[in-house]
A = this chain, B = another copy of it.
Amino acid sequence: MDKREILILIGSRIREIRELKGISQQDLAAGCNFEKSNMSRIEAGRSNITIGTLVKICDVLNVKLSEITNNM
């Protein structure tokens, strides 16, 4: 799996969990201290995010990093 695929998978996983918890992109982004526009890009896999950003998102979603990267 290459970088592009992984980023898309990570984004999809984030979106899946977010929707499962009934949170809007807006609110998730706000919890992470950034704009919904950036969250939209992240969920679309269009941003090569850092571990720091991913950890922030995991924190707000209240999931472990390994839950996001599971099977990758």
Residues of A within 8 A of B (CB): 1-3, 6-7, 10, 48-52, 54-56, 64-66, 68-72
Q: Which residues of B contact A56 (CB under 8 A)?
A: 3
5 contacts between A and B (CB under 8 A): A3-B55, A3-B56, A6-B55, A10-B51, A64-B72
Q: Shortest beta-carbon distance, A53 to chain B, in Å?
A: 9
Nearest Cβ in chain B — how far from A4, in angstroms? 9
Q: Are A66 and B72 in contact (CB under 8 A)?
A: yes
What is the bound-complex CA distance between A66 and B49, given in angstroms? 16
Expressed in whole angstroms, the Cα–Cα distance for A51 and B72 within the complex equals: 12
Measured CB to CB, the closest approach of chain B to A57, in angstroms, equals 11
